[in-house]
Amino acid sequence: MNYKIALLKGDGIGPEIVDATLPILDKIGEKFGHSFTYTPYLMGGIAYDETGHPLPEETVKGCLAADSVLLGAVGGPKWDTLPGHLRPEAALLGIRAAMGLYSNLRPAKLYPPLKEACPLRAELAEAGFDILIVRELTGGIYFGERGRNQGENGEEAYDTERYSVKEIERIGRVAFEAARKRGKKLISIDKANVLESSRLWRETIHRLAQEYPDVSYTDMLVDNAAMQLVRNPAQFDVVVTSNMFGDILSDEASQLTGSIGMLPSSSLGEGTNGMYEPIHGSAPDIAGKGAANPIATILSAAMMLRFSFGLDKEAGAIEEAVNKVLESGLRTADIAAPNEAFVGTAAMRDAILQCIIDNA
């Protein structure tokens, strides 16, 4: 079967890591009898430079028409002085809204070969962890009313956190269903002791929990969650939380895996057309040097195979290849120990590719 994939390579290292992933997908297609058609579209800073807008209409239409979307990264200091609605990051919010991608799944797993790269105490790293963070993606403070005005102390700025019961229920169901397929344990993270939006969040998730008696459910305040992640990450299985809290906590969790360059993500709505991307940024300081870690993007492609195309075996083949390459000791700079030899983007790609070939 042929699958149409929209490519949003973006800025910085985005083109490098996306380009490193395509041969992996093509080899999987060859091995399992599928094919992939790639159509590139502009998004982010490069789109602004060429069209005057970070998210051109052509890009939105192309993503909606595709079977799925693979994104690299957007942004960089070059565009930091632009107005908010023209900054590359605005394109991320725009494409999520246009595609109705309200559910963001961010797995944070410590691979055993990388336990030395984990910044936690040795006994915590030895225990390992495998966390799935389910982040609400199209509501909350990132999409609320915002602006500036003059107050009694001069210029003021405001951003509004707003959630509806419908938004909370639909992300809650995603999390409960995911927990059922894993360890049947869900923690909902909020700030209900202070925020009214979190109180509605907690009330709604509590009601929803009654429909899932087989899932162990608890609440946790976000400040405590941030502490518990570094105190004992193995206690977490599936986590569900709001847009902003999920953004922050998943970045924290990524560092526990050894590097933010290891974490993939998937964003889905009601259908199967999703967007898949590494959670790291555009890393302009290493762009063009061939030094970026492509693993998060390659694992994002594996998530695309599984969640958008229903190709579990194919996704597993990529994940197994990544694990074997890490077990072999190959490292990019971000996951290498001090004074340990490391390789660049192309060498890591080639090693994963060869592992897929060898396992044919």
Name the CATH topology of 119-256: Isopropylmalate Dehydrogenase (3.40.718)
> 142 an active-site residue?
yes
For the chain, give the percent of residues with pLDDT over 90: 89
Q: Report the pLDDT value the prediction gives residue 360, as an integer from 0 to 100.
A: 57
CA–CA separation, 36 vs 22, rounded Å? 9
> 191 an active-site residue?
yes
41, 48, 111, 142: which one is catalytic?
142
Q: In 3-state terms, what secondary structure has residue 100?
A: coil
Per-residue pLDDT at 356 exceeds 90: yes
> 289 an active-site residue?
no
Q: In 3-state terms, what secondary structure has residue 147?
A: strand
Q: Report the pLDDT value the prediction gives residue 255, as an integer from 0 to 100.
A: 87
Instruction: Say yes or no: do domains 1-110+262-360 and 119-256 share a fold.
Output: yes
> 350 an active-site residue?
no
Q: Report the pLDDT value the prediction gives residue 204, as an integer from 0 to 100.
A: 98
**DSSP readout, 40-77?**
E---SHHHHHHHSSSS-HHHHHHHHHSSEEEEEE---G
CA–CA separation, 148 vs 161, rounded Å? 16
For residue range 100-138, list pLDDT tens digits in order: 999 999 999 998 889 888 889 999 999 999 999 999 999
Q: What is the average per-residue pLDDT within 186-209? A: 98
49, 80, 159, 223: which one is catalytic?
223
Domain boundaries, the chain: 1-110+262-360, 119-256
Average pLDDT of every residue of the chain: 95
Inter-residue contact 258 to 335 (CB < 8 Å) = yes
Per-residue pLDDT at 303 exceeds 70: yes
11, 237, 247, 334: which one is catalytic?
247
Q: Give the global pTM.
A: 0.88
> 247 an active-site residue?
yes
For residue range 3-44, list pLDDT tens digits in order: 999 999 999 999 999 999 999 999 999 999 999 999 999 999
26, 130, 251, 350: which one is catalytic?
251
CATH (residue range 1-110+262-360): 3.40.718.10
111, 191, 217, 334: which one is catalytic?
191
Q: Report the pLDDT value the prediction gives residue 260, as an integer from 0 to 100.
A: 85
